Amino acid sequence: MPDRINIGLIGCGRIMPAHLNGYMQLMAKGVDNFRITALAARKREDALRFRKHGEGPLPRVPVGPPGDPLVAPHVYVYDFQKDVDVEIYTDYKEMLKSGNIDAVDIYTSPFTHYPIVMDSLIAGKHVLVEKPLAITVKSARKMVEAADEAGKVLGVAENAHYAAETRMIRWALDQGYIGDVQMLIYVTIGGYWSPDKIVATTPWRHQKIYAGAGPTLDLGVHIFNIFRYILGEIDEVCSVVKMFEETRVTRDETGNVVEKILSDVDDTFVTLIKFKSNAVGQASFSWASHGEPIGAWPPPGGRTIYGSKGCIKGSTLVLDDGTRAEIKVLFDKDASADVKEKFFPLGLTDTFAIETLEFLRAIEEGREMETSGRGGLRDIGVCYSMIESSRLGRFVKVDDVESGKIGYYEKEINEHYGW
C-alpha cells in the first residue's frame, strides 16, 4: 500500500464542487494520505474550470434548491492542494494508462458508469462512483464481480448514508428508544422540480436509455439505502410506478419556456415494503405534483418510524409516556465518544467529506466501504423491484430482481449497451 493515495477525478460536472469541498475539508482536518493528481473531462476547459482560479471558464451557475449538493460553492483543487501538479486528460482511458493514480472518483452521468468502472478495475484502480452505481441491475452485478476479482475497493458516493440525521436515527434505534421497530412511513410529494421542470436542467434524467428510470432510481437509491441502513434488508415490495407529466420544461426568469422534452420514465412511485426484520413500510415520492408539497427532501422530511414504545417523527423522539426529545440532543448527550468518532470521524459532518474519508480508509485497510458496490447493487435491486412490481401487479422479492430472475424492464437498456 503506497504512503499516499493518488486520485484521478473523472467527469467535471455540476456535482464536482460538492466533492471537492469534501476533499478540502479533509485537508483542513490534517488528512494527508492522498493527493488529487489528475482531472479527466471530455472537454479540456471543463477540467480547467476546477484546477486553478483564472485558468478555465467561469464556474457554472448552480441549479437546485438550497442545501442541495448541486448548489455547493465552487472549489478549485489548488485552493487546498498546492504541492502536486494536477494533470489534465480529455480521455479517461489515457489517464488510466498514463496517469500517476491509484484510485479514481467518478462523477459522470450514470449511463457511463459501467464502462468507466470496468476499465478502471481492469487497470487495477480502486473506484468510488457517484450514485446510482449503474442504470441496470445486470451491469451493477458485473461491476461488483469485477471488483471482487480485481481485489479492489468499489464504493458508491451515497452521501445521504452519511448524513447526520441518518446516523443519529440509526443510533437511536440501536439504543432501543422506540422498542421493536414496526413500521416506517415516508412521503415526499412535489417540491422544487414539480410539477414539470427538467430536473437539475439535465434532460437525460428523463430518458430511459440514459437514466434507467426517473426518481424511482435517481432518488430511490438514496431513499432505500437509508431505509436499509436504519432498518435492515428489504425483502419485497408491492408498488405503483407512474408518469404523470410526459412533457418536462426549463423556464427562464420571466417564466418563458426555453427548453422542452418528452419523458419516457416514471416521475412518481407509491410502494409497500416488507423488511426481513418483519417491519413494514410505505414510501411515496413524486416530482410531478401540482399545488402544495407534502414532506420534504432530503430525509427526515416526511418520515416517521414507529416502534413498540413510540416513534421518531422526522428527527424528534415521541414516546408513549409523553417524552419528547430531539434525536440530536440525545445523541450529543448520551452517545459514547467511540460512537461519535465512528459516525462523524474527526468531527466531520459534511457528507462528502465523510464518504471520501471512508473510501480512503477502505483502501488502506483492505475492506469494503459502508456504501460498497455490493450495497449499491442492492439499492438498485430495490428500485427496479418497484418497477417490476408495478408491471406485474404483485409483491416482488428483491432477491429475484438482484439475481436477474426478474428483469423485464431493464432488458431494453442492457440490449442497447450490449451488457
**pLDDT tens-place values along the chain, 419 residues long:** 568 999 999 999 999 999 999 999 999 999 999 999 999 999 999 999 999 999 999 998 888 888 888 889 999 999 999 999 999 999 999 999 999 999 999 999 999 999 999 999 999 999 999 999 999 999 999 999 999 999 999 999 999 999 999 999 999 999 999 999 999 999 999 999 999 999 999 999 999 999 999 999 999 999 999 999 999 999 999 999 999 999 999 999 999 999 999 999 999 999 999 999 999 999 999 999 999 999 866 666 689 999 999 999 999 999 999 999 999 999 999 999 999 999 999 999 999 999 999 999 999 999 999 999 999 999 999 999 999 999 999 999 999 999 999 999 999 999 999 99
What letters, b where the CB count within 10 A reaches 16 and e where it falls short, cover 34-51?
A: bbbbbbbbeeeebbbbbb
Q: Which CATH class is domain 162-346?
A: alpha beta
CB 372 within 8 A of CB 155: yes
The C-alpha atoms of residue 45 and residue 168 are separated, in whole angstroms, by 41
Cα dist from 129 to 9, 10, 84, whole Å = 10, 9, 23
Short-list 155, 156, 184, CA closest to 169: 184
CB 387 within 8 A of CB 223: no
pLDDT computed for residue 297 by the predictor: 62
pLDDT computed for residue 301 by the predictor: 67
Concatenating the DSSP letter of every residue in 280-325 gives: EEEEEEES---SS-BS-SSSSTTEEEEESSEEEETTEEEETTS-EE
The C-alpha atoms of residue 178 and residue 68 are separated, in whole angstroms, by 30
204 burial via Cβ count (<10 Å: 0-12, 13-18, 19+)? middle
Size of the chain, expressed as the number of residues it contains:
419
CB 142 within 8 A of CB 419: yes
The residue whose grid cell reads 421518531 is: 312
Fold annotation for 5-160+347-370: Rossmann fold (3.40.50)
Question: Any alpha helices (H) in 124-199, and if so which ranges?
Answer: 137-150, 164-174
CATH 3.40.50.720 intervals, the chain: 5-160+347-370
CATH 3.30.360.10 intervals, the chain: 162-346
> Distance from CA of residue 8 to its chain's centroid?
20
pLDDT computed for residue 3 by the predictor: 84
